[in-house]
Structure 1
Amino acid sequence: MTEGQVAPRAGWYTTESRGQVRFWDGNDWTEHHQRVDGLPDARSGSTGSSRGVALWIGIVLVLGGMMNLSSEDGPGGALVAIVLGLIAGSVWYLARRNAKQREAAEAALPFQPVHISTTPDGNHLAPPPIGEALEPWGACRDQLEVVGESYHPDAFIALFGGRIPTDSNGGQINDVAAIVPDFDNPHDSHAVAVWVRGQHVGYFDRDTARRWAPLLAKVERAGGYLEVPVRVWAAVRQSGWKARVTVRLPRPDEIAPANQPPSEGVVLPRGAKIQVTKEEDHMDVLTKYTNGDTVTMAVTLHAIHEIRARSATETVEVRIDGERVGILSPTQSANLLPLVKFVEERGQTAVAHAGLRGNALKADVTLDTLKAQDVSEEWLASLGPKTVDLNRPTRATYEWDD
């Protein structure tokens, strides 16, 4: 676009390839493409010209035939036929030349995409996921059955490699789904579309979508989309093909943690439930967040030396917003210390998913994270090489035991 030109609104637009549309996010082209049957050619002006030429030639020949039949046998009839044939040939030649010139001129011009919101057969085109995928901070425990799968046969054919399974059990895919608000949907302005591997497979039911669309809009405004676990099943039966899509959702208030995770942190993979200890010593901090229900939090984990009167031991300290809220037991510290140190040796802070439950009288903090022995080699390699030699200081003076 040139300076001062207004960018087209986000949406699906035609491309130079016949039957293909591409998504424009409002600023740039994305890598999302869809095939839409029934769209006209990107440049179809010459088609109309050719039809017009054929029509005129047909008229000339019909008139010639009528005149020839009405005239007497002799050189006059033959002359009429010759003249009309020359006229028809000239019309065809000139029209063909003009069509080629027009096609060459059109090819020299930039292609002008056309906004497409519905397919020729009336199906709405939902917006695809744009931006960074966001994993919910809370656990995804609630199952939801997606609706409208039968409107997307091409999506399931693509997901299953070009053919929906015909065996008795059908086919199943366990993956992640992108859930995207679709406020331009003509049937429901709070619609929520479900995408799997770049294919639109259905929608949330109307009641669920009404609750989730405003929350997903906040994620979208932040430059991302929510990604949740999904199960896709499909099969061909005697009555036709069948499909079922099931997503797992967090509680709506657990999309993001109640506090702000550190920007320079590495989020540890989910896994085992690990109970924090000595929360009772830090109720002044914890009561800032408790509300009588479970609150989803982001906590940081730190390898420290606990200094006591007659001993010193290495353990894992748990903090919320930089303030200590407890430590792990010796057994659980042994399970997590190698992982926490590994992260710290790469100049990062280990961040874990956690749940805080309690009130002004008592509070419990539970981690949701993999133990060191369960983390994959691929995940460890993704953090890069060691950059820091840990020369761990003892705890601060104010933390020493009497």
Structure 2
Amino acid sequence: MGSAGMDIIDPEQGLSHLRAFLSVAMTGSIAKSSDDILKASSAITRSIRELEGALGVALFERRPRGMLINAYGNAVLLRAVRIHDQAEQVADELCRSKSLGAISRNVVFNLMFSGRKLQLLEQLSELRHLSAAAAKLGVSQAGASMSLSRIESSVGQPLFHRMLQGMMATDTADKLVAAGKRVFAELRHMEADISAIAGTQQGTVIIGALPLGRTYILPTAIAHALKSLPNIRVKMVEAPYDVLVSGLRTGDIDLIFGALRPEVLCRGLITEPLFSDRIGILARTGHPLAGLSGIPLGDLLNEQWILPRSDAPGRRLIDDSFAELGLSLPKASVESGDLAIVRQLLRSSDMLTAMSPRQMRVEIESGMLVELPVALGQTTRRIGLTLRDGARLPPIAHSILDSIRLHARDHSGKTGAPGHG
């Protein structure tokens, strides 16, 4: 076999062979597995061979008395068991729901081991049009329509509402898609698990990046990790917190770095605070207020402001700070969380912004921007990592996490005093 240098395993190919692999791993014998899953020995042998070919490694030692699972096989077994448990969990959940009618548990369970069907449901859920989903999957629209009809027929109910604006997923479809995404995440992590044993350290880590970490800590931490792990891929997802958390819960994202939310919003998640951050008032160097000292916050109410969106945690901190000092809330001339837009607006005008000085650290240190000496109310917030409870991240993800922790710790004391950046 090869040296674990595979690309990400194809979901259809991988899932179709995992059930045979699971049985052989548990029974230690092709013959016993044949009786266990009612499948011909030749078909099981072929499944194991094709799975090993897809993964690029042997999973068993072939011995006269049976099949002895090796270290690579144990790594795959761990993920396969998690996929099996996920399939059972969603099957049980849907069968318990009285509002869904009679759904065969076996139908749902089997669906979780069909990568092509899960991919179709996922793409339809996201794109909402059969033609777009078919094009994304490289199949004909007629083929996709027939496949969906078969899935809905087996489940015994429509999975999408056909509406003028497109196909809207039902609650059942949402549950199937979420479970399918977690299954795909386990397959993605197989690559990294196997490469770690082989010593090649390959695979993909997907990071949800909130604004505060994008400018310095995350880029620095990733660059540091890539020095020792040059073959890994890091995919950054920049989106609002709600979108990132949704991806984290389904396994589309491995970790989130940025401002932490209250515990009440973090059910099923693990939060790890790394440092506290504060808000400062920033302006261009040369701003009429830049040379002053001890500016009262109330004197800034009539200035033009660039502020985060009204639902952003940073905006709430700013509003709370004004309210704490008995002041009217500042009115935003521009609402944006895009650092490139904020940076250019500050440079080309006398507008002010209220944000973490860390987010503009490079611009402050270069002398492009300055933090005004303004006393604010309580504007500190916790910055750290958010992970999905129960997720089993591969070694490469833990290397990225350790690098983020290291650079966050090194950076935690560098908030600067107001007026000094």
TM-score (normalizing by structure 2)? 0.22
For the pair shown, the structure with the greater C-alpha radius of gyration is 1
Q: Which has the higher helix share?
A: 2
Q: Which has the higher strand share?
A: 1
